[in-house]
Amino acid sequence: MSVEVGKPVPDIEIHLTGDRHARLSDYRGKPLVLYFYPKANTPGCTQEGKDFAEHINKFRRQSCRILGASRDSLKAQENFKAKYHFPFDLIADPDEVLCNAFEVIKLKNMYGRQVRGIERSTFLIDAEGVLRREWRGVKVKGHVEAVLEAVKALKNS
């Protein structure tokens, strides 16, 4: 069960901020940006979330929704969303079901030792639930703008 550009994404159950459960299929009908980040309340992840929040109206004009996901607990995700007033939901995936389906767990070097963690990645899913674009090993600066351009191109195709 993994994702591939041009193929439908698996219909996985997700646990959202607000202690709500949904399925990825619940987001069909409009494009969806699903971005994965390593850890709530860390500098790069905070900046990425703020960048998506800053551009939320531009995404909404394209009828596009945004979800952020990490392995953090629901409580950590709730606190992260509240602290920075993110206008989109975050997904708590401590069991790594979603992370594994999108193959974002990688071995990373941290202070000289290897640890498992999320490789910052973003996925653009179309209104029919088909994966249209993926960005792996994302650098935060300028990334949200690139995703927005891809959303616009998807809408115009």
CATH of the domain at 59: 3.40.30.10
Asked whether residue 52 is domain-assigned, the answer is yes
Average pLDDT, the chain: 95
Q: CA dist 70 to 129, 152, 154, 155, Å?
A: 21, 26, 26, 27
Asked whether residue 126 is domain-assigned, the answer is yes
Average confidence (pLDDT) over 13-30: 97
Asked whether residue 4 is domain-assigned, the answer is no
What domain range includes position 89? 13-156
Residues that are catalytic? 45
Q: Is the pLDDT of residue 139 over 70?
A: yes
Asked whether residue 40 is domain-assigned, the answer is yes
Q: Is the pLDDT of residue 16 over 80?
A: yes
Output the pLDDT for position 28: 96
Q: Are 102 and 36 in contact (CB under 8 A)?
A: yes
Q: How many domains does the chain have?
A: 1
Output the pLDDT for position 111: 82
CA-based end-to-end distance of the chain: 28
Output the pLDDT for position 137: 93
pTM of the complete model: 0.95
Please name the amino acid found at residue 58: K
Average confidence (pLDDT) over 23-37: 97
Asked whether residue 87 is domain-assigned, the answer is yes
Q: Is the pLDDT of residue 1 over 80?
A: no
Long-range contacts of residues 86-89, Cβ cutoff 8 Å, at least 24 apart: 86/49, 86/52, 86/53, 87/53, 87/56, 88/52, 88/53, 88/56, 89/16, 89/17, 89/18, 89/20
Average confidence (pLDDT) over 132-141: 96
Q: Are 22 and 36 in contact (CB under 8 A)?
A: no
Confidence of residue 112 (pLDDT cuts 50, 70, 90): confident
Asked whether residue 105 is domain-assigned, the answer is yes
Average confidence (pLDDT) over 67-94: 98
Asked whether residue 49 is domain-assigned, the answer is yes
